[in-house]
Structure 1
Amino acid sequence: MSSSTVYPRHSLRTIGLCFFVALLEGLDLQATGIAAPYMASEFGLSPASLGWLFSAGLIGLLPGAVLGGGLADRYGRKSVLIAAVILFGLFSLLTAHSSTYEGLLAARLVTGLGLGAALPILIALSSETVDEHLRSTAVSLTYCGVPLGGALAGLLGMLSVSGDWRLVFYVGGIAPLLIALLLTLWLPESRAYQGRSGAGLSMPLRAMASSLFSQGRGRGTLLLWASCFLTLTTLYMLLNWLPTLLLERGMSRLDVATIQVLFNVGGAAGTLLAGFLMDRQKSFMAVALAYLGMLVSLAALGTADQLQWLLLAGLLAGACAVGGQLILYALAPRMYPADIRATGVGVAVAVGRLGSMTGPLVAGQLLAAGTGVGGLLLAASPVVVLAAVTAAGLINRNGAEIGLADLPKA
């Protein structure tokens, strides 16, 4: 069977464009971490000031995800996505041209708004462009761009040998503006959005949010939020603290950078595997592999001494942590009808972002209390178990998601 039979041409074009936007999103999400040492030197920033700079972008992600999803349900996926991409492209460029610390904070905050708005639309668009039995794979093909973008950010950081921290922001600013042009020319509007009921056109955002709990969707929505929060707590603890923890164990910066790249490459592979399994009615297997793998990789990162085992643990940690996130992002659009789909995905993404802020903060407090590397990773284990339980709660014994049988088809 040819790929054009499985994925019509318009579907391949939509998934491809969404992938490139996700790639740029992943690049920008890790850009500040890559540039931080050089920015601290140029602006004379303390660790506390750097922390606020990291947080500014994350703070913008929360309202961005909620507003982006809600606006996409009212005004169309295509137009709101293009606006979001232009927004984070322009303010990434502004980051590179900021001459004050306050300017950096403002630029990263608004960049986060654009990034936050884009992600739920990408998930909704990719899930709506294919038949139901291929939705998880389509979402995984799009979302694997995020970890690959993180790997690209790491490579750009290695190329900045002269200490020019602006390079990663120039790439993260110019490329989205070019992609926005391609989206305008080539991205088709979602057929599910075009064919939805007319009620959603005039539905207030507050009513759209409350509808996430109507028609028997309340339990599934709460489970989705809980699992998103817990999974991203673990994922961002690893993303933010893993380099520091490995350096404290005596590893060289080159080895740490290699593990970071493997973490992101593993994340891309994990998303594709999770999507493949879910579309073949093996959602329980996907959940078991992802969360059990997280526990194993956390233990290995905390106890392994030889480099080759740490490299393998970094690869596995990325595959399982990012793969676990993909499982939730693939489930979310299947839980809601087209009228509120992007809203449902957006709110779930926003709740997950709360976890992405909580994980690094809690990890910092535990390390300050003297738990050490092993103690920190051990403390993360109950969070992983709870995330697995809530993710499994979204799936019934037949591998179908809660509420799907009662939802109208897109």
Structure 2
Amino acid sequence: MQTITDHRHGGGRALTLAFLAAVIEGFDLQAAGVAVPKLAPAFGLTPQQIGLFFSSATFGLIFGALAGGRIADAWGRRTGLVIALVAFGVFSIATAYTASFEQLLVMRFLTGVGLGGALPNLVNIAAESTDAANRGKAVSIMYAGIPLGGAIASGVSMLGLHGGDWHMIFLVGGILPLILVPFVHFLLPPLAVVKAQVKSASGALSQVFAPGTLATTLALWLSFFLGLLVVYLLLNWMPQLLVSRGLERSEASTVQILFNIGGVLGSLVGGRMLDRARPVGPVALCFAAAAAALLMLATLPANLALMLVGGALVGGAILCVQAILYGIAPQCYPFEIRGTGVGTAVAIGRLGSIAGPLLAGALVAAGFTPSGVMVSLVPITLAAGLTTVVLLIRRRAAARPA
């Protein structure tokens, strides 16, 4: 295996390109939610069909993450990112020209495949753009682009910048990644050039599940599953919680934007905590803070100013711990299977993103109030923190000289 890394000349450029791609990814992830108020009446969609429309992209994300991780190892991170950007760009544009509900589902699923394929490549590009001591910070800077893109999409919706035209959301979401493709292809430096020793997907997966890495893989998967469960339950249910407390829909949308902006700042904090010489204590505190923020949001009175602050704090705390997980993932595997390892973890996380809204629906059906649903996330968040701390302790023990 041959590896070439030049952080001095290429690292900053690689991280900038990864950040821009993450902003576009965040915008596209929120595009469906922004478009659906106008799209649903245009197609005459029922609530069940709207749910299928949202779910189609999520299932695409799972397949995309698995494929994107493998492509990162087999063909390189740059090639993997270019393919993903082209995929979700083309299929997002195609979504704007659909004429039936069935076409809408297929195009959104394929857009999700592209979006899912981008993330393992982005995580690895960011991690490999710097030295080992700053990998957490680099990944967190990249990851901060996703909530920033989400905030931009929410702002476009709230301010009506798309002119009330749902087609425009998907067209812009498709054109942006295609514009970025030549910059990624020609400007992304060869931070890591590898002659792969692992020639097949089954060979890479066998290393991910090898006796020496199995416990690490399972702990990482559990942390990702629980973490994404919390994030997507919040994204789906926080507006309802706020409205049930007496806020107007427009006010709830403003809080959602603050949630994303808080997430940008929280992501950056998470990366710095992970890069500490002794990260276990700071990381544990981050998860405890996330649990405390959820309790606070569940009990705040119906006051817009307090809710704005609460939304920002919850977004900051929850996405802080997500950035920590994305920062840990590439550090768990050697270079030649890192893409596959990160891709499988991201895919398992996407299963959590499906489970979160389903769990919320089941709790509400069982008689839970929206506040009760928020409180139920506290033990889940703490469990994710526990598995993450175990993961850090295992890594620290493995790094000690025998």
TM class, shorter-chain normalised?
over 0.9
Instruction: Give, as a single letter, the amino acid of the residue that structure 2 aligns with 1:175.
Output: L
The equivalent of 1:210 in structure 2 is: 206
Deviation at 1:308, TM superposition (A): 2.3
Deviation at 1:215, TM superposition (A): 5.6
- Counterpart CA distance in 1 for 2:45 and 2:309 is 35
Instruction: Give, as a single letter, the amino acid of the residue that structure 1 aligns with 2:335.
Output: A
- What per-residue deviation string (whole Å, max 9, x for no partner) do you get for residues 258-303 of structure 1? 1111111111111111111221224224422322122222112211
Contact 2:10 2:191 in 1 (8 A): no
Deviation at 1:7, TM superposition (A): 5.7
Deviation at 1:312, TM superposition (A): 1.6
Deviation at 1:405, TM superposition (A): 5.6
Q: How many residues align?
A: 394
Instruction: Give, as a single letter, the amino acid of the residue that structure 1 aligns with 2:286.
Output: A
Contact 1:286 1:327 in 2 (8 A): no
The equivalent of 2:219 in structure 1 is: 223
- Counterpart CA distance in 2 for 1:12 and 1:186 is 11
The equivalent of 1:252 in structure 2 is: 248
Deviation at 1:402, TM superposition (A): 6.0
Contact 1:77 1:189 in 2 (8 A): no
Alignment of 1:364-383 (within 5 A): 364-383=361-380
Instruction: Give, as a single letter, the amino acid of the residue that structure 2 aligns with 1:327.
Output: I
Alignment of 1:146-157 (within 5 A): 146-157=146-157
Q: TM-score, normalised by structure 2?
A: 0.94
Segments of structure 2 that go 5 or more residues without pairing to the other structure are 1-5
Deviation at 1:119, TM superposition (A): 0.1
User: Structure 1 pair 402/43, CA: closer, same or farther in 2 (3 Å)?
Assistant: farther
Secondary structure at 1:98's aligned position in 2? Answer: coil
- What per-residue deviation string (whole Å, max 9, x for no partner) do you get for residues 31-88 of structure 1? 1111111111111111111000000000000011011101110111111210110000
Q: TM-score, normalised by structure 1?
A: 0.92
- Counterpart CA distance in 2 for 1:371 and 1:380 is 12
Secondary structure at 1:199's aligned position in 2? Answer: coil
The equivalent of 2:179 in structure 1 is: 178
Contact 1:289 1:320 in 2 (8 A): no
Contact 2:74 2:196 in 1 (8 A): no
Alignment of 1:257-268 (within 5 A): 257-268=253-264
User: How high is the sequence identity, in percent, across the aligned residues?
Assistant: 41
The equivalent of 2:331 in structure 1 is: 334
Instruction: Give, as a single letter, the amino acid of the residue that structure 1 aligns with 2:337.
Output: I
Instruction: Give, as a single letter, the amino acid of the residue that structure 1 aligns with 2:168.
Output: L
The equivalent of 2:315 in structure 1 is: 318
Cα RMSD, aligned residues only: 1.7
- Counterpart CA distance in 2 for 1:404 and 1:95 is 48
The equivalent of 1:274 in structure 2 is: 270
- Counterpart CA distance in 2 for 1:206 and 1:51 is 34
Contact 2:11 2:191 in 1 (8 A): no
Alignment of 1:50-89 (within 5 A): 50-89=50-89
Contact 1:331 1:401 in 2 (8 A): no
Alignment of 1:132-211 (within 5 A): 132-160=132-160, 162-191=163-192, 194=193, 196=194, 198-200=196-198, 202=199, 204-211=200-207
Q: 2:385 aligns with which of 358, 372, 388?
A: 388
Alignment of 1:20-31 (within 5 A): 20-31=20-31
- Counterpart CA distance in 2 for 1:280 and 1:304 is 33
Secondary structure at 1:264's aligned position in 2? Answer: helix
User: Structure 1 pair 267/57, CA: closer, same or farther in 2 (3 Å)?
Assistant: same
- Counterpart CA distance in 2 for 1:188 and 1:291 is 35
Contact 1:217 1:403 in 2 (8 A): no
The equivalent of 1:41 in structure 2 is: 41
Instruction: Give, as a single letter, the amino acid of the residue that structure 2 aligns with 1:15.
Output: L
